[in-house]
Amino acid sequence: MIGEENRLWRWTWLLALSVFILAATTGALMRFGLLKGFPWGLQYTNVRHAHSHLMYFGWVTPALMGLMVTWLPALTGRPLSALSQTRFRRIIRLVLLLAVGAYGAFLLYGYRPAQFGSLRLPLSTILASLNMISWYAFMAVYWQATKGAARISPLRLWDAALAFMALASLGAWGVAVTAVFRIQDPVVSALLTHLFLDLFASGWFVLGVLGLASAANPRASRHRWAAKSESLLIMGLPVAFLLSIPVNLLPPFVRLIGSLGGLMVGLGLWGQIVVLWQGAEKRWRPALLFLSLEATATLAVTLPAIARWSERANLRISYLHWLLLGFVTLGLVAAAQTTWGEEFVKGRRWLVTAVALLILTLIPLSNVWPAAWHGRWTMQLAAWVAFGPVLAACGMLIGGINVYLGWVRSRRLDPAQNS
Ligand code: HEM
């Protein structure tokens, strides 16, 4: 799928990958901080917020946006207008800038207001809110650019992904409003936080990446399960986030609604996995393996007894990174390689290996690991192995920059390429 116009959007990948390296390094340093203490007065909770917000706002979101924009002409059957190209370019740059800004604010202040002389400013909340406004701008230009185009599978998945991004953002606005009005209700705060965190991940990220898999593998989207599994996903997602809220916080009938949603999401994900396993390029298989872990876990926690067990087993961080590092991140790399070629996106197997090792080292940190085998070594191992994806991504970035600069130079030498 490598046309000249598609090469125009490769800068989005290089910048998003640079941000991944910063966020992943923050994650790895967090592991060392948990071992040796945090330097420069940094606080663990703030570093964790900085890591997760940068991964959400500055890695997955702009990487997904850049890849979606690159595929739109092929999927709509018409080139992007110059105006849409300009708007998409400016919005993705703004998304990246605001994401890095929010990272700095969360790292230094967390959710506490920043003090500038006599002025106290909720800087993280302000920058996180500006991030959300830039996403709304992307949605508006996307819908403008795809207006009237046939809603084939990738576009259906991206329409739903963006709608869930908007729905998830209501949770984030809710968190900001409860902070301003000092509303301290554990159920309300859990509902709003998980509406944002989980629907943003399972809705925007997962449907976004599944849309890329469908765009890159049109044969898969013709499978008889493709449309049915998509519908199951889209119907179950709005309430499946209830499964991430501690079981004891929710009345049983509310949790039952969450379980029904989780059942549809789990079956929908398995349907997509079967469809893509048969119809997609092999480079998608590591991401699909992690998605199958996620789909099975989603089906399992529909049962309150298993959900209580997984809370006691302290599997939340593992569960999150199966999805976000295993499926979403490796899925983005597979999509980038299909979209821009193996010459531009090198080292995918190194990253797959590094991610698999990192996720394995999270098991000894949970309570499924026999208590007798616990020890400081489990945290040391997790800390050192956490640098694996950082190094692999650095190699991928350097390789990509070399190809990109070579292309920029060739365009300068041969202006005919610009036309
Ligand atoms: C090299 C890759 C990564 C490393 C080393 C890493 C490391 C970490 C660490 C150390 C924590 C805190 C664990 C704890 O509290 O015990 C964490 C939490 C988290 N990470 Fe990552 N992570 C990585 C990739 C990702 C990616 C790709 C995403 C999202 C796209 C992500 C999203 C999150 C989230 C949402 C949390 C939980 C935050 C919270 O509870 O407030 N991480 N990660």
Check pLDDT > 80 for residue 3: no
Q: What is the pLDDT confidence band of residue 417, given thresholds at 50, 70 and 90?
A: low
Q: How remote is the CA of residue 321 from the centroid of ligand 1, in Å? A: 7
Average pLDDT, the chain: 94
Q: How remote is the CA of residue 76 from the centroid of ligand 1, in Å? A: 36
Provide the pLDDT for residue 366: 94
Among the listed residues 368, 351, 244, 216, the one whose alpha carbon sits nearest the alpha carbon of residue 290: 351
pLDDT digits (tens, 9 = 90+) for 204-228: 999 999 999 999 998 888 888 899 9
Among the listed residues 165, 175, 176, 177, the one whose alpha carbon sits nearest the alpha carbon of residue 134: 165
**DSSP assignment letter at 120:** E
- Residue ranges of alpha helices (H) inside 37-60 are 44-54
* Sequence-separated (6 or more) residues with CB below 8 Å from residue 9: 66, 67, 69, 70
pLDDT digits (tens, 9 = 90+) for 93-131: 999 999 999 999 999 999 888 988 888 888 998 999 999
Provide the pLDDT for residue 180: 79
Please state the rounded mean pLDDT for residues 22-51.
95
Pocket of ligand 1 (CB under 6 A): 24, 27-28, 30-31, 48-49, 51-52, 55-56, 59-60, 317, 320-321, 324-325, 328-329, 358, 386, 389-390
Pocket test for ligand 1, best of 294, 325, 351 (most atoms within 8 A of CB): 325
pTM for this entry: 0.96
The percent of residues in the chain predicted with pLDDT above 90, rounded, is 85
Please state the rounded mean pLDDT for residues 378-394.
97
Q: At what angle do helices 206-216 and 226-240 cross, to 10 degrees?
A: 170
The percent of residues in the chain predicted with pLDDT above 70, rounded, is 98
Residues 250 and 242 sit within 8 Å (Cβ to Cβ): yes
Nearest CA to ligand 1 atom 12: 48
Q: What is the pLDDT confidence band of residue 284, given thresholds at 50, 70 and 90?
A: very high
Q: What is the pLDDT confidence band of residue 250, given thresholds at 50, 70 and 90?
A: very high
Provide the pLDDT for residue 5: 75
Please state the rounded mean pLDDT for residues 35-57.
95
Nearest CA to ligand 1 atom 14: 317
Nearest CA to ligand 1 atom 6: 27
For residue 156, CA distances in Å to 151, 221, 288 come to 6, 11, 20
- The count of other CB atoms within 10 Å of the CB of residue 57 is 28
Q: How remote is the CA of residue 46 from the centroid of ligand 1, in Å? A: 12
Provide the pLDDT for residue 130: 96
Place of tokens 């997509």: 272
Q: How remote is the CA of residue 51 from the centroid of ligand 1, in Å? A: 6
Nearest CA to ligand 1 atom 43: 27
**Dihedral sign, CA of 282, 286, 292, 298?**
negative
Q: How remote is the CA of residue 26 from the centroid of ligand 1, in Å? A: 9
Q: What is the pLDDT confidence band of residue 258, given thresholds at 50, 70 and 90?
A: very high
Nearest-10 Cα torsion for 69, 346, 215, 9: 10
Provide the pLDDT for residue 221: 84
More confident residue, 385 or 117: 385
Give residue 127's identity as a one-letter amino acid code: L
pLDDT digits (tens, 9 = 90+) for 299-337: 999 999 999 999 999 999 999 999 999 999 999 999 999
Check pLDDT > 80 for residue 419: no
Provide the pLDDT for residue 414: 77
Residues 398 and 332: their CA atoms lie apart, in Å, by: 18
3-state helix, strand, coil in the chain (%, to 5): 80, 0, 15
